[in-house]
Amino acid sequence: MSELSFSSFCGWLKFRHLLLIDTLGRTRNMHLAAQQMNLSQPAISKMLKEIESLLGFALFERQPRSMPPTALGEHVLRYAQIALNDARSFVEQIGSLREGGHGHLKVGGIFAATAIALPEAILQIKQRWPLLSIEVVEQTSNHLMEMLEEKKLDLAVARFTEHSQAQRYDFQPLAPEPFCIVVNSRHPLADAGPISLQQLVDLPWILYPVGTPIRARMELAFADAGVALPRNTVDTISMQTFLQVLQRGPMIGMLPDAMVHPLLESGQLKALDTPLHLAPQDYGILTRKGEQLVGAALEFAQILTENARLARDQGAANGAGEGQIR
C-alpha cells in the first residue's frame, strides 16, 4: 500500500471502523466483539482485514486465546477511543438541545477545587441555564489530565504535576492551594501550641496515597526538614473516608486550607502549629492544548475566573494575602 494520506484516510474511515477497533481493544476477542456489535464473526474478521490493509499494518496480534493490540495498534486504538468519546459527547449535546435543554458540561476537579471553586460556579451557571446537565468528576490532577486527553471532560480544575504537561494542556491559574496539618478537637495535640516535626513522626497519620502529587510534596517537605516520614499511616484518596477518619480518631492529616476552613471555624478540627512548610502551588483551569472552549464550557470557565478574581480582591482588602480563597 502507498503511504497513507490525510485525504485518503478521511475518504475511507467510518465510525463503524472505530467502533470495531475500540470493541476489539476492550474484549481482545473476535467472538465477543462480534456479539457486542451484533455482527457475525466472519463480518468482523473481514472488516478488520480491510482496515489493516488500508493502514498497511496489523492492529491486533492473532494469538490462540487473545488478540492484544500491536505497538502501532495501540496508537490507533487510542485514537479510536478519543474519537468515539468526542462523537458521544456531540450526540449527547445535540440530543439535549433538540429536547429544549442546554446541553451537557463535563468538569473535573481536584479536591480543593471541588470543595470551594466548583460548587459556587455550578450554582451560578445553573441559575443562568437551569436545564444544563452537569457531570462532575473528583480525581487527582494526573487522572484528570488523562480524562481530558481522552475527551471524557470538557475542562478540569487542577494543577500541573510535571513541567512537560504544559506542552499538552493550556493552564489558566485561579488560586494558590495552601495546606495545613490538622487534628480533631479531641486529639491530645489539639491545644499543644508549637510542635516539632519529630514529635509527630510516630503518631498515626491519614494521608493521600503514595504517588499522588500532594503526598510527593509532603515527602519532600519532610526530607527538607531532615525528618523521617510517618510510618503509622492510613492512605486514602477518598475525601469522605479521609474526613470521617480524621474527625473520629486520633489521627493527623494534611489537607488544603480551603477544604478544612469550615471545620476549623466550627471547632471540629484544629490546625497544628508545626514548622512543616509546603509552598502553595496554583491550581487552575486545564484544557486541551490549542482547543478553544465554546458554549457552556466557556461560560463556566469565565465564571471560575471571575470568582477567583473577586476572591483575590476581597483577600487583599481584608489583609488576608493575595489569592487566598476562604
Question: How many residues are given for the chain?
Answer: 326
pLDDT of residue 95: 80
Residue 100: band (very low, low, confident or very high) from pLDDT cuts 50, 70, 90: low
* pLDDT 10s digits, 175-207: 888 888 999 999 999 998 899 888 898 899 999
What does R_g of the chain's alpha carbons equal in angstroms? 25
Query: Does 322 have pLDDT greater than 60?
Result: no
pLDDT of residue 234: 94
CA distance 323 to 326: 10
Q: Which CATH number fits domain 102-176+282-313: 3.40.640.10, 3.40.190.10, 3.40.50.1000, 2.40.30.10?
A: 3.40.190.10
Residues in CB range of 271: below 8 A, 6 or more apart? 180, 181, 182, 260, 264
251 against 114, higher pLDDT: 251
Region 46-69: mean pLDDT is 92
Architecture of the domain delimited by 179-279: 3-Layer(aba) Sandwich (3.40)
281-288 β-sheet, strand order:
133-138, 104-109, 155-158, 281-288, 169-177
Query: Does 321 have pLDDT greater than 50?
Result: no
Residue 2: band (very low, low, confident or very high) from pLDDT cuts 50, 70, 90: low
The pTM of this model reads 0.67
pLDDT of residue 170: 96
Residues in CB range of 317: below 8 A, 6 or more apart? none
Same fold, 6-79 and 179-279: no
Region 8-20: mean pLDDT is 86
Region 241-264: mean pLDDT is 89
* pLDDT 10s digits, 145-166: 999 999 999 999 998 988 899 9
Q: Tell me the domain boundaries of the chain.
A: 6-79, 102-176+282-313, 179-279
Averaged confidence pLDDT in the chain: 88
Q: Which CATH number fits domain 6-79: 2.40.10.340, 1.10.1200.10, 1.20.1440.60, 1.10.10.10?
A: 1.10.10.10
